[in-house]
Each structure stands twice: as structure tokens, then as C-alpha cells.
């Protein structure tokens, strides 16, 4: 893997089940992701995109093929070492917010510090992460007091807490209204452009993927490279709210979903 490569995938295959019930989810997937790239994986439900994202993030393992992420050959790494890599260098944002109800917003954001090499990471970094998504004023509130949009912003702040080099997002706007979803995507674009974070977003909506620099379509477990310009234009025609726009400031107060 070169210094400019963050992800190298070669001939990945993955199946679940056995015998007549065996289902092939990934079929010979190969591609690279460069440092600082903003990539969108699109496709219908069941196309294998979430499984692929989980393999890239070390949450699942391929049955066959080569996976190298951030200089780590996953075939040579133990589960414990992959867990450390995830906590220190890879951020995750999911459609479900996965917040702990008994913790405040700040407590949820600081949770990765419990598993980090740097155990002394303090409240200042947690508050900074919340500030970046416009949530610092609500740091002491608990998830039950937040709207869906606010919960997702806390989840994003948690993903940013350890300052990851790679951010993996699985349907991050799936539970948000159109306006709030567009603002979240604008924030991801700004994060990629300003901080150089390598970003992969899984989505079934082309209008969301229009923010990416590169689009790959998944179909029946295989990849078809998409044409970004054409797909972005189609997305903007479908819903102008998702057209590529100037990035919002990092500390902008993103509008929360009702």
C-alpha cells in the first residue's frame, strides 16, 4: 500500500449461511481509496454496501480477498488489534444513533476515551467535538431530551472525538428530514475539504451521494464505477436541497429535525 492509499481491497468475497440457504453478499470486490478522498457507495437494499463498509471498518471479515486499511493488513491483525485501530483511527456514524440513554451528550461523545491509548483525553476535546456540530450548548442534556437531528449530531461528534483519519458513515441521513440531512452532508463535505479526513458514505440515495468526489454503485454484491457528474446532476434535479453547495462553517448550528 502506497502512502497515498488509505484503503486497498482485492477480490473480496463474503457469504452468509451454508448449503441451499447460502447467500453471496460480496463477489470479487476490488478498489482503492486515496488519502483525503470522499467516496459514496450507492445501491439498493441488499446490494452488499453495508457489509462492505463493515469489512473496511474491521467489524466483519471477508471470506476471501485482501483488505488493507491505514497500512494494516487485516489478515495479519487480531480482533483486539482491529478493535484498537477502530477506536483510535476510524470513526463510525450509523443510521441508528447508538447513544447511551444514561449518559449526557458529552458523556456519549467522550466514550471512546475509555478505550483509547490516550486515557487522559478530557472534557475539552469532547466539548470541541460538540461545538463543531453546533451542540456544545446541549452538552449536559441526555438523549431523551434531543430531537433526531440533534442525536445524529452527537453521534457525529463522538465519531470525531479521537480525530480519526478515516470516517465511515452508513446511511447517516436515513432518520433525518431532507433539510437536516442536507446540512449534515454539507458538514461532512466541509470536514473532508478542510481537515482532509478520508470519508466513505453508504447510501441508497443518489441525492446524498452528490456531495462526494467519487461514486461507486453496488449491484448484487459487485461494484460498478459510477459517473459522478451525471449522478450529481440527477440528484440535484431530483431534490435541489441536496445539490452541491458551498460548505457550511464547521461551528454552524445545524438545524435539528423536529
Please tell me the distance from the alpha carbon of residue 50 to that of residue 45, in angstroms, as a whole number: 9
Q: Are the CB atoms for 248 and 187 separated by under 8 Å? A: yes
Q: Is 160 left (phi over 0), alpha (psi -120 to 50) or beta?
A: alpha
pLDDT in tens, 15-30: 998 888 889 999 999 9
pLDDT of residue 30: 96
Any domain includes 247? no
Q: How far, in Å, are 77, 91, 110 from residue 171 at the CA level?
A: 28, 14, 23
**Any idea what DSSP says for residue 51?**
H
Any domain includes 249? no
Any domain includes 140? yes
Any domain includes 248? no
In the block, residue with C-alpha cell 471477508 = 62
Given strand 23-34, what is the order of strands in its sheet? Answer: 23-34, 5-16, 64-69, 72-73
Q: How many domains does the chain have?
A: 1
Which structural domain range is residue 142 located in?
5-242
Distance between terminal CA atoms of the chain?
45
CATH code at position 99: 3.40.50.300
pLDDT in tens, 157-166: 999 998 999 9
Buried b (16+ CB within 10 A) or exposed e, 65-80: bebbbbebebeebeee
Q: What residues in the chain have per-residue pLDDT under 50? A: 227-233, 235-236, 239-253, 255-258
All three cell numbers of 99, joined, read 447513544
The gap from C-alpha 235 to its chain's centroid, in whole angstroms, comes to 20
Any domain includes 168? yes
Any domain includes 251? no
Nearest Cα residue to 156 out of 174, 132, 136: 132
Any domain includes 80? yes
- This prediction's pTM: 0.83
Any domain includes 252? no
Which residues are bridge partners to 26 per DSSP?
14
pLDDT of residue 49: 94
Amino acid at each position: 500500500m502506497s502512502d497515498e492509499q488509505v484503503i486497498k481491497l482485492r477480490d473480496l468475497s463474503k457469504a452468509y449461511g451454508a448449503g441451499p440457504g447460502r447467500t453471496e453478499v460480496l463477489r470479487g470486490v476490488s478498489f482503492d481509496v486515496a488519502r483525503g478522498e470522499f467516496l459514496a457507495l450507492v445501491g439498493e437494499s441488499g446490494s452488499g454496501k453495508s457489509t462492505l463498509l463493515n469489512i473496511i471498518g474491521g467489524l466483519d471479515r471477508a471470506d476471501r480477498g485482501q483488505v488493507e486499511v491505514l497500512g494494516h493488513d487485516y489478515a495479519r491483525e487480531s480482533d483486539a488489534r482491529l478493535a484498537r485501530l477502530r477506536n483510535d483511527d476510524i470513526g463510525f456514524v450509523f443510521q441508528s444513533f447508538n447513544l447511551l440513554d444514561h449518559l449526557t451528550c458529552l458523556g456519549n461523545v467522550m466514550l471512546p476515551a475509555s478505550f483509547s491509548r490516550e486515557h487522559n483525553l478530557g472534557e475539552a476535546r469532547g466539548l470541541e467535538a460538540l461545538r463543531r456540530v453546533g451542540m456544545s450548548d446541549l452538552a449536559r442534556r441526555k438523549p431523551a431530551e434531543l430531537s433526531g437531528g440533534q442525536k445524529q449530531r452527537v453521534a457525529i461528534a463522538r465519531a470525531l472525538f479521537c480525530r480519526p483519519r478515516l470516517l465511515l458513515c452508513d446511511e447517516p441521513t436515513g432518520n433525518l428530514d431532507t433539510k437536516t440531512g442536507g446540512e449534515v452532508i454539507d458538514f461532512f463535505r466541509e470536514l473532508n475539504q478542510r481537515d482532509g479526513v478520508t470519508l466513505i458514505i453508504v447510501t441508497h440515495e443518489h441525492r446524498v451521494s452528490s456531495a462526494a468526489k467519487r461514486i461507486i454503485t453496488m449491484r448484487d454484491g459487485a461494484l460498478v464505477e459510477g459517473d459522478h457528474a451525471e449522478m450529481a446532476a440527477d440528484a440535484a434535479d431530483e431534490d435541489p436541497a441536496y445539490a452541491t453547495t458551498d460548505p457550511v462553517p464547521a461551528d454552524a448550528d445545524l438545524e435539528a429535525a423536529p
